[in-house]
Structure formats: structure tokens, C-alpha cells
Amino acid sequence: MMASPDAHQDVLFLFTEVFANGGIQRFNQTILDAFGRLGIRCRVLSLNDSTPAIAKSLKNNGHATISGFGGNRWRFAQAVLREVMRNRYEWVLIGHVNFLVLSMSILALRRLHAPRTMLISHGIEVWSGIAGMRRHAMRRVDRILCVSHYTRRRILEQAPALTADRLVIFPNALADTWASVAPTPFGRPLPSRFILSVTRLEPGDRYKGIATVIEAFSMLADESMHYYVIGHGRDLPFLELVAERCCVRERVHFVRGVSDSELIALYQKCAAFVLPSGKEGFGIVFLEAMFFGAPVIAAREKGAMDVVRDGDTGISVPFGDVIAVKQAIEALVSDSALCERLRAAGRLLVTDGGPFTFARFTSRCAEVFGIDQTVGA
Amino acid sequence: MCGILGLLTTTGTQPPFETFLAALDRLKLRGPDDSGTSREDGLLLGHRRLSIVDLSQAGHQPMESSDRRFVIVFNGEIYNHADLRPRLSPQNGWRSTSDTETLIEAYRAWGVRCLDRINGMFAFAIWDRTEQTLFVARDRMGVKPLYYSNKNGQFGFASRPGALNMLLDDGALTIDPEALRVYLEIGYIPAPLSFHRDMRKLPAGHYLLVNARGVRRVRYWDFRSIKPDPSMNSRPEGELVEELDALIHSAVKARLMSDVPLGAFLSGGVDSALVVAAMKSAGVSHPKTFTIAFKERAFNEGPAAARAAEHLGVDHVHETLDVNSLLDLLPTYIQEFDEPFADSSAFPTMAVTRLARRHVKVALSGDGADELFGGYHYYPLIDRLAPLLGWRTSNKRAAQQLLKSLPWHRTKLLAGALQSRNTVALFHYLRSVGKDYPTLLNGDIAHSTAPSETWFAQFATSFAMDLSAAETAMRLDAGLTLPDLFLQKVDVATMAFSLEARCPMTDYRLVEWAMRLPARFKLRNGETKYLLKKVLSKYLPVDHVYRPKMGFGVPLAQWLRGPLRTWADELVHDDTLMSRVPLDKKRVRELRQQQLAGERESHPLLWSVLMLLCFVQSHDARRALPVIAYREVA
């Protein structure tokens, strides 16, 4: 549904994708839910979503009007131009740095009632390559939301002309919807002890550290332990080969198509959630694991360090350190007191007013967009 | 430096003891000074000794711990064993000055954690009579080899695959198809692969625990995830030079531990000169150094080595050879590398070992520095090519077309390099022996095995984040090429003449420091080994330090067209022999024709094939002999 010319809406969102699995997509869903909660009208242009996907996935957000372009960049650019020129928005939220130059160029055409602009910087996409036109466009953005301290630091290193107060730490949060999902049994019998990873399995994503976990797993003395990797992608044959070479192929299970309710059962029963990834912008899966009581092992790298604090909310290891991963798993399996302490501290992050709850996320939204919460609530 | 052999039988029957002795005899050149065996329920241990530390019978192996709970066979040296002794308390005091006794007491005191405290080159096995568990370990960088096999209720291990093959399979050869593919692609067989199907090579920095429950392989040390330390960038260069110098000095000094004469290999290059300089500053007043000089100028490092020796003030010994005379060593090469091995620099290594063995029993070598400090010519190339891999496919294709249209083979190879998807693939391409040549394997093997690149990719998955392309290549070399190509070459070539080689540059403290050292101190403006050369400049004139790298090469392509022509032709046209290996005969013969015609640089791949054929031929011949006839060392 298109907005009528010169109608007043509050925020225009320019997103890569909303209705799919992935960290950025989940962030986008969460922010739309938060705006819904605040009662702010939103117009969303999503490059990669298709209209059927939107129709299927749109649940409770009556405040958002969403259009998908099925990956058609030209149609997406036309729509951005039309929206900006025809309508008055208070804010334009640029959901990905790849849209920055396009968006700022179009916005420059609007002289009167120009909206204020905000850029969301997630992680890897802004850790390098901020130069030339992109850096110039970034200087003109009113505010940059950084999902982690590492992302903020990397942007400032590349664009030192930016004033630091324009970069706001705006961490991800556990989606509100998780609390209402009831766990269902996993589709097949689970072993008594297993560790778990949830991730994409693409050749370009080997930094997720799954091969490292497989090697560490193969060194464990407990041969009744299994390893579940939830996810899919084109790197599966390589990872299966690694498991084969480490002589643990029969105890490493690559599973795709797991529903959220099944995933909850896995989080709740696993001995440890292990994702020693080297390039997480934030790592929302850590929050999910913590919410459902899984002790977490992460790499001491980049955005994940905002969530997983070593010995406090989880165990963090140097990226790629097979021996440290093995020792961390052994510690969690053998030390129930440590395990309980980490579980409890992890859960505090995502419950009861913790920093990564949906309620806190909504408050942060209201704060950065200058929204009076008493009006929307 | 010794040879070890063992067999633990949990079910089934043990082979006859005579077979065990015959297999142990295959390790005789590794340890000509003494031999020993032990037999107890289900376990056979054997040892061939090259006596270096504590020459008395007190160092005899297999050796028991002071409480008789443990028994050990050990190949190698523990350089810090004297430092460990005050922290250990053997029952009834020390019986010898041997590092073997220190090692077994260290295990008695600390268990597997003893590996964290020892500094050395080693492959050993310790049997725990109480726990009925065998503990088998290999040193951090893989200086000493160790092969093992676990099948049909028998776990066997040995310093060389030939001995183990004889022990477990009565010498029958069953080729591992994956190892064969990897060998033909990169010229050597990286751990854990072995050429024999049911055998594995224990990777560097790993141990095994073997008992009735099975075999568990554990990594105990790993340099891969060590991050370059950005704070080193802001330190004065002179400070880093001094720190590196001190580390090399310490590594060399530790390796002077010996009760027999000790010297060093000295080429005209940076690494061996640094080792010799450190020997001098560690108090060896006139170390003996050894060089092979060649009459042919293109291969002759003799004059450069002599100049370095003069500056350093050492007792230099050199032998001048006609490069073709190295071919006398071909039978030794084929006999001693008892799995296919295609690095022709083994010839000069054997020649210099033969020379050194006339004077000393231990020699220090500079191996390892190239991989740690950026010595190979392809590191700067990889740094230059890596950004091009991110080009759009259409641009890459256009560049490839252009390069292929040029008349030089090297530009065609460069076009091939541009096809690489990432840095690991690029490194693999540059290191591979076949490059753009179609596979020589039979179709079924080519389809049922994984490309060798996957081993490199797997190893690289645990590398620290944000390494440069050259740093990635150096770590791949340090973790795969160094242990299973270069250190294997040094081990086998020196053991063929019963000489112990020690490699100070593989000291783990130096390795960890090198991993923390940022890339700009390794490569700068196309200069390789930047910081290492600064250290050497303290000891040698600048013009010597910065002379072009020569390498340890032989004129392989000319040999294959000249003195080795008939030998090579006979091998590739031997239908019986060719039928023993799953190769496409037609392609192999085409390759030979192309090499003879000089159409392309095909000699590395052809040499790999010839070494494979020689290995199979020699294996078959050897199996037919009831007793292996070994040369006695003069």
C-alpha cells in the first residue's frame, strides 16, 4: 500500500531485508516492533523482501506500511525517490551502509522540510571501506547508531572527522516474540549431552568458527557428547569433510529447517552454546541462548565482547584457539557451579530490565528519535 | 636423535617378535649406537639409539621411571631438561644425566601437562603400567616424525612409515587415495595423512592417548590463533632487533647441549649465518661449519658461505662437487624417504650431511626462519595479487585472457593464480607442483577424493583474525609445509647418515614471538626477512646480508633431459610399474614429452611422479628381500 502524496508519516525505513533469518533481519524486525510499541507510523522499503513474504510474515504491526522489491535495486531506488519527494518524514532510517550514498543523494534533492537522517551500522559492512563518497555521505548523517562498541570505534578510526557524539551505541535486543513461543520437542531424539551452534554455513562465513569447534570437539574425552550445528549454506560439504577428518562425523549433526519452538528446546537442553565467531557485529544468537538458559562460549572479538564477558556472562576465548575452546567446553561440562553462575548472569542481560531486553531497546528507540513514550504507550 | 617403534595389542595376536626386530632394524641408521626392546603383556617397545647426551648405558632405552610405573621410548632432545631436574624428585635420585630420564620423570610428576614445560624436538611414547594407557607425543613444530596405525585391535607407532608398514602389514602396500592426490598436487604428504591407507602421521603439537577404550588425538600447542601485536609497531626498531637477537641466542644456546662434537650447516644465506653467529656469542669459540660448494656458478653458494665463515671466525669445512655428482645420492634418496617425497633439495642436504658426519655427530641448521620471518619470494607476490582476487569476475576474466595470450609460461601461471577464490587458494596454487596441469590421477580417484586445497583451508580456519595475505601464507607454510616437507627432508636426509640436525629457529618461544610480530617487520618494500636481516647486520657486512637469495636447488629440469633421461624414460614406460599406481599412463607420458621438449615448467610435477614410481618400485623390491641390507656408517 502506497502512502498518498504529501501525507505526513513519522519514519521512513530503508532496509535490506526484514523477513528472513539473520542478525540484520532480526534487528530490523525488532526495531519495527519497537516502533509499533511506541505507536509511531513507519513506512518501510525493503530491498530484498518479496511481497508474498511480507504478507506471510506481517503479524502484529499495524503501524508499519511495508513494500518489498524482491532484490530489484532500480525499483527500490525509484521508490526511495518517490517517498522522499512526495512525503514529509521526520526521520529517514538508513538500514545499511550500502544505501547511504543513494539515500543522501536523494535526500539532498529535498530542500524544504528535509527529514533528519539516521544510519544503522551493524558490523562487518562498516569495519572497512568507509572512504570517498561513502565517508562524505556519512558526515552528513545526523546520527549513526552502532550496534557495538567495536563498530563505533572502527567507524571513528576510518572517519575521524565525525564528532563522537553523533555515534550512539545502540545494541541489539532479544525480540519480544521469543517470550511467547512455546518450546516443542526436537524432531528426533536428542542425546543426553550435546553442544550447540546456530549460524549460517557459507564459505565466506568461516569466521564463525565452526571448524574450530569441530576440532575442539574431537579432542574431548567424553565420547558420548554430540554437537548440533543448526543452519545451512554452501559450506556444509566442507564442514562435513572437517568432521570426517577429525573422526567425529557420526557425532556432529548438521540440521536445517529447525523451527523457533524446536530451537528453544535445543537451547534449553544443550551443555553449551558455542559460537567462537571472529566477526560478529553483535551476535544476537548469544542473547537467544542466554534467554533460554544456555551457557555461552564466544570469541574475544569485536561485537560479541559487548555481550559475552569472560567469566561473567559466558566464556570468551581467543578466536581460532582450538585448545581454549576445548578447555571452555570441558569447564562447562565438569563444573556445574560455574555453569549455573554463567547461566544466571547471562539471563540477567535479557530479562528483568537487563540491557538487552526488548523494553530497554524500545526505550533507547524513543530516546534517540526523541519520542515521548507517554504518548505512544 | 633415534628411532622408536612400538606395538600395543588389545585384541588379536601379536606378530612374531622376529618381525618386530626386523622392523626395528629398518630404523638402524637413525640409531646405530645401541638398540633395545621391552616386552610385556600386549606391549612391544623398541628403540635404536644415536647417543648424544649421556653416552653411557645409563641412557639405554626403553627406560623405566624411578617407580617402575612408566616405561619410555624417546626420539629427540629435551633442551631444557637440566632446568627441569631441580623441580623433579625421582625415587632414589637420578640414575643418569640423560634427558630421557628427565622426560619420564616429568611425565611421572606432571602427566600430559609435562608437554607445556618441555622445550625440545621429540617424538616419544610412554606406557603407564597402572592405567594401561600409552601416551604418544610429537614436538610443537614437528621436527621429529611419528607415524601410527590403529586397526584390528593393534596400535602401532614408529619413527618411519616403512618400519610400521613392515610391522603391521608385513610390508604390503595399500595406497591412501587421498594422500596420493595431495602428494601429486603439492609434492609432499601433510599430517595426518600418510601414503599408507591405514597409517597416520601424528600432526605437530599433538599427543595421543591409547587404551582399551580407543585412541584420542589432542592438540596441546597451537600458534595459529596468536594475533600480531600492534603495540610492536610503535616500539623502536632497534629494540625489536635486540629482542629477536636475544631469542635466537637463547634458542641456539639451548641446542648446544651435547656430549659429542657439534657443528653447523652454513650456506651463504641469512638463517644459517645467524645460527652460527649465535653459536659464537654463546661461547663456542671455533664452531665447525659445513658447506657444499658446486663447480657450477648458478648453484654455488660456496664463496658466500666462505666469506660469512671468515667474518664470523669459524672453522669452516667445505667440499666442492660437480652438481651432477649429487646423482650418486639418488639410491639413498629413494631408500631413505620411505614414502614418496618430491623435494629435490634433499640432494644437497644429504651431501652436506655426508660431509658434516665425517667431523661431527650433531649439526645446527637454519630451517624454519623463512616460514616465520617471511623469507620466500612468493610472500610479497601474494600480498600484491591478493587484492586482485576481489575484482569483478568480468575484469578478472579479461586480465586472464590478456595474460594467457602472452608467449611466456609464467604469465600463463599468473593467469591461473587469478582464478583463486581467496588467499588460501592463491597460496595453494603458487605452492602446488602441478599448477594448471590437468590431474594425472585416474578418474575414479580424482572424483572420490578431496582436493589438497581443502587441507590448507581447514588448517587456516583457526588463524587469527585480520591477517594480511602474506601472513596467511607464512602460517600455512609454518604449519604444513615446514613440518612435513622441509623438516621431514632434514630429518630423513640427516638420519640417512646418522647425524642429528637441530633447528633453533623452530624453538617455540621464537615461533610465538614471530607470530606476534607484525607483517611490516617481515616484508617491507619487497624486501623479505626485514627484521631478521637487521639482526644479521650486527654480525656480517651489509652487502653480504642483502645479497640475493639463492636457495638450495639442483638443475632438475636439465638432469631429467640429460643424465637422468634414460632412468626417467624407463620408469614412465614400465607398464608393470605403471599398473601399480592409479595414474593415467597416457597423461604421464605426455607430461614427460612436454618436459623433454621444454614446453612448460613441468619438471616439478614429473619429479613427483618419478619419485612415486621409485617408491613403489623400491617398496616392491624391498618386500621381496627377507632381510634389509643396510649400509654401515663409516
Residues of B with CB under 8 A from a CB of A: 192, 213-214, 216-222, 224-225, 227, 421, 450, 454, 457-458, 461-465
Contact criterion met (CB below 8 Å) for A310 and A346:
no
Q: What is the pLDDT of residues B410-465, one digit of tens each?
A: 888 889 899 899 999 999 999 999 887 788 998 888 889 999 999 999 999 999 99
The H or E element that residue B7 is part of is strand B2-9
Q: Which residues of A touch B217 (CB under 8 A)?
A: 218-219, 247
pLDDT in tens, B520-564: 999 999 899 999 999 999 999 999 999 887 766 788 888 899 999
Which burial class, exposed, middle or buried, applies to B237 when counting CB atoms under 10 A from its CB (0-12, 13-18, 19+)?
exposed
What is the C-alpha separation between A107 and A83, in angstroms, rounded?
10
Angle formed at CA B383 by CA B379 and CA B387, multiple of 5 degrees? 155
Of A206, A247, A279, nearest to B461 by CB-CB distance is A206
Q: CB distance B225–A242 less than 8 Å?
A: no
Residue A344 identity (one-letter amino acid): A
First to last CA, chain B: 18
Residue predicted with more confidence, B469 or B630: B469
Alpha carbon distance B25, A367 (integer Å): 80
User: Which helix or strand (DSSP H or E) is residue A10 part of?
Assistant: strand A8-15
Start-end ranges of CATH 3.40.50.2000 in chain A? 8-173+357-376, 178-350
Backbone dihedral angles phi then psi of residue A317, each to the nearest 5 degrees: -125, 160
User: Cβ A241–B224 below 8 Å, yes or no?
Assistant: no
Task: Give percent of chain B with pLDDT exceeding 90.
Answer: 76
Residues of chain A in contact with residue B458, where contact means CB-CB under 8 angstroms, are: 211, 238, 241-242, 245
Residue among A241, A242, A319 minimizing CB distance to B225: A319
CB contact under 8 A, A321 and B457: no
* pLDDT range class, residue B492, cuts 50, 70, 90: very high
Q: What is the DSSP letter of B5?
A: E
Alpha carbon distances (Å) from B625 to B8, B21, B618: 26, 15, 11
B464 with A320: Cβ contact below 8 A: yes
Could you say which of B225, B461, B464 has the minimum Cβ distance to residue A211? Answer: B461
- Whether the CB of A218 is below 8 Å from some CB of chain B: the reply is yes
Instruction: Compute the distance between CA of residue B613 and CA of residue A210 in angstroms, rounded to an integer.
Output: 39
Minimal CA separation from B111 to chain A, in Å: 16
Q: Do A319 and B457 touch (CB under 8 A)?
A: no
Report residue A26 CA to chain centroid gap: 5
Q: Which residues of A touch B220 (CB under 8 A)?
A: 323
* B134 bridge partner residues: B127, B210
Listed by start position, the domains of chain B span 2-219, 230-374+478-545, 555-634
A209 touches chain B (CB under 8 A): yes
Share of chain B above pLDDT 70, in %: 97
Is A322's CB within 8 Å of B462's CB? yes
Distance, in Å, from the CA atom of A365 to the CA atom of A35, rounded to the nearest integer, reads: 8
How close does chain B come to A321, measured CA to CA in Å?
5
State the nearest Cα–Cα gap between A242 and chain B, in angstroms: 7
Question: Along the 377 residues of chain A, how does pLDDT read in single tens digits?
Answer: 333 444 445 899 999 999 888 888 989 999 998 998 888 889 999 999 998 777 766 654 567 889 999 999 999 999 999 999 999 899 999 999 999 999 999 999 887 888 999 999 999 999 998 999 999 999 999 999 999 999 999 999 999 999 989 999 999 999 888 888 888 988 889 999 999 999 999 999 999 999 999 999 999 999 999 999 999 999 999 999 999 999 999 999 999 999 999 999 999 999 999 999 999 998 899 999 999 999 999 999 999 999 999 999 999 999 999 999 999 999 999 999 999 999 999 999 999 889 999 999 999 999 998 887 665 44
A321, A325, A329: best to mutate for the B interface, most B CBs within 10 A = A321
Contacts of A301 in chain B (CB under 8 A): 465
Q: Under a CB-based contact definition with an 8 Å cutoff, are residues A264 and A231 in contact? A: no
All three cell numbers of B377, joined, read 619470494
For residue A318, list chain B residues with Cβ-Cβ distance below 8 A. 225, 227, 464
What's the pTM? 0.93
Handedness of CA B259, B261, B265, B268 (dihedral sign): positive
| Sequence letter at residue B547 | R
> What does the buried/exposed string (b/e) look like for B386-403 if buried means 16 or more CB atoms within 10 Å of the residue's CB?
beebeeeeeebeeebeeb
Closest-CA residue of A relative to B221 is A323
Hey, is the C-beta of A148 within 8 angstroms of any chain B C-beta? no
Question: Which DSSP string corresponds to B438-482?
Answer: PP-B-HHHHHHS--THHHHHHHHTTSPTT--HHHHHHHHIIIIII
**CATH no., domain A8-173+357-376:** 3.40.50.2000
Q: Is residue B407 classed exposed, middle or buried when 0-12, 13-18 and 19+ CB atoms within 10 A define those classes?
A: exposed
The answer to whether A215 contacts chain B (CB < 8 Å) is yes
Q: Helices (H) and strands (E) in chain A — how many of each?
A: 14, 13
Give the tens place of pLDDT for each residue, A184-236. 988 889 999 999 999 999 999 999 999 999 999 999 999 999 999 999 999 99
How far apart, in whole angstroms, are the C-alpha atoms of residue B145 and residue B191? 10
pLDDT at B627 over 50: no
Among the listed residues B14, B144, B154, the one whose alpha carbon sits nearest the alpha carbon of residue B74? B144
Give residue for cell 600409552: B134
Q: Taking the C-alpha atoms of B364, B369, B370 and B372 in order, what is their torsion angle to the nearest 10 degrees?
A: 150
Asked if B614 is an active-site residue, the reply is no
CB-based contact B454 A241, cutoff 8 Å: yes
Q: Helix (H, G, I), strand (E, B), or coil: what is residue B209?
A: strand
Question: Is B2-219 assigned to CATH 3.60.20.10?
Answer: yes
What ipTM was assigned to the predicted interfaces of this complex?
Answer: 0.93
Name the CATH superfamily for B230-374+478-545: HUPs (3.40.50.620)
A174, A230, A290, A359, A362 from A178: Cα distances, Å: 8, 18, 12, 13, 16
One of B2, B114, B503, B614 is an active-site residue; which one? B2
Strand partners, A43: A12, A65
Question: To 10 degrees, the CA torsion angle through B126, B95, B262, B334?
Answer: -30
* Residue A278 distance to chain B (closest CA, Å): 6
Q: Which band of pLDDT confidence, cut at 50, 70 and 90, is reported for residue B503? A: very high
B221/A318 Cβ within 8 A: no
pLDDT given for residue A369 in this prediction: 87
Three cell numbers written together for B313:
671466525
> CATH code for A178-350?
3.40.50.2000
Grid coordinates of B497 = 647418515
